[in-house]
Structure 1
Amino acid sequence: MTADDLESNDDAALFRAGIGEVRPLPKQNRIAPQPSCHKTFRTPPNATVEIADTLSDSCNEPPPEEFLGNGVSRMTLRKLRRNIWPIQDKLDLHGLHSDSARRSLQEFLLNAIEQKSRCVLVIHGKGLNSSSGEAVLKIRARHWLTQHPGVLAYCDATPKDGGSGAVLVLLRISL
């Protein structure tokens, strides 16, 4: 036995002595995990799927200010914030009702991905003229973006591009 083996055995014994006996929780004391409101799904290649109908309006959580898809590095989000990728297309959702805004966003994203656009700007507005006083399209557009399989990341646009009334969206090259 080497000195490292003895040291690791001593550490393990000390840890076990400090922790004491460990027993799993009984089934009735376990808390069920809360389902996430963000749906993740893959579109099979060469399949035409009506994704607009799968983008849900209902979610109990407020949308994140910034979004980073699974497997995408934090460095990618930093680059998006710094406008490393030029904005290749824009969509303005001002004045649209929720249903038509969702369909417009869906069509826009599908077209942008088909055209191999990498970075796009979605202008949803700040909700200043909303009768309820809240930015309905801002909240919903961000929820839809987190659910869309073609979206890798998004963040608030720079002040010159619309600030908190718009989002920069980084897209996959293909679905």
Structure 2
Amino acid sequence: MPKKSPIPPEDSLLFRESIAGAQPLVQDKKWHHSTPVRPKTKVKALADQDERQLFYFSDQYEGFILQDGPQSYVAEGDDPLLSRALKRGQIQPQVTLDLHGLTQLQAKQELAALLSWCQQQQLHCACIVHGKGLGILARKVPNWLVQHPNVRAFHTAPKSWGRDGALLVLLALQSKSSHRSWDEA
């Protein structure tokens, strides 16, 4: 028994008349892919820059001993009152870096990137939140900071910026044209 078509014969005839002069398409068999651009030199340049920034930080260096109470450091030859100004909140941080949940390597990379970025943006004060937790980053961060040549001073942050879980860091700016001292902040 022949199968009955669900399309009425008049509609089928109308369709055949409308496509009477149509030609089948020819497949050109060309694949049009866009090849991904790989900026190898740019990636290598960024990796070299990261390595240069990490050059300052040694994990074996223990130049800053964690004490009970506030942590304070002033670079040799710098004004000893810088630490007091940071402690009192007279110098407000312009940027904050939160290291919560990062590994030591990630924290070191983020810290190096922050210090480099502060130089580029001409920012002289930063707040680094390392948290309390097990105290691993609380011990490492001050030791990394004392090794960096652009760190003038740091002190445990005031209560409003995180107290024992954070440090306020004062940076030396490299540019002579727009150098701001700590008392101009």
Give the TM-score taking structure 1 as reference length: 0.65
Instruction: Give the secondary structure class of the aligned counterpart of 2:169.
Output: strand
RMSD value, Cα = 1.8
Note the alpha carbon deviations across 1:56-91, whole angstroms, 9 max, x for none.
112356246211101111112211211222210000
Q: Which structure 1 residue ranges, 5 or more long, are not aligned? A: 1-47, 128-133
C-alpha contact 2:86 2:157 (8 A) present in aligned 1: no
Moved segments of 4+, more than 2 Å: 59-64
1:94-109 → structure 2 map (5 Å cutoff):
94-109=100-115
Distance 1:110 1:73 in 2: 23
Q: Please list the CA deviations of residues 85-137 of structure 1 after superposition, one character each: whole Å capped at 9, or x if unmatched.
A: 2210000000000001100000011101211111110000011xxxxxx3001
Give the distance between the partners of 1:105 and 1:67, measured in 2 at CA. 17
2:79 corresponds to: 73
Q: Distance in 2 between matches of 1:60 and 1:89?
A: 26
Say if 2:90 is the partner of 1:84: yes
Q: CA, structure 1 residues 75+103, in 2 after alignment: closer, same or farther (shift >3 Å)?
A: same
C-alpha distance in structure 2 between counterparts of 1:150 and 1:96, whole Å: 23
Question: What is the rounded CA distance, in whole Å, between the counterparts of 2:83 and 2:56 in structure 1?
Answer: 26
Percent same amino acid among aligned pairs? 31
Q: For residues 162 and 112 of structure 2, what CA distance do their matches in structure 1 show?
A: 21
Is 2:62–2:143's contact at 8 Å kept on the other side of the alignment?
no
Instruction: Kindly indicate whether the alpha-carbon contact (under 8 Å) linking 1:114 and 1:174 is maintained by their aligned counterparts in 2.
Output: no
Report the TM-score, using the length of structure 2 for normalisation.
0.61
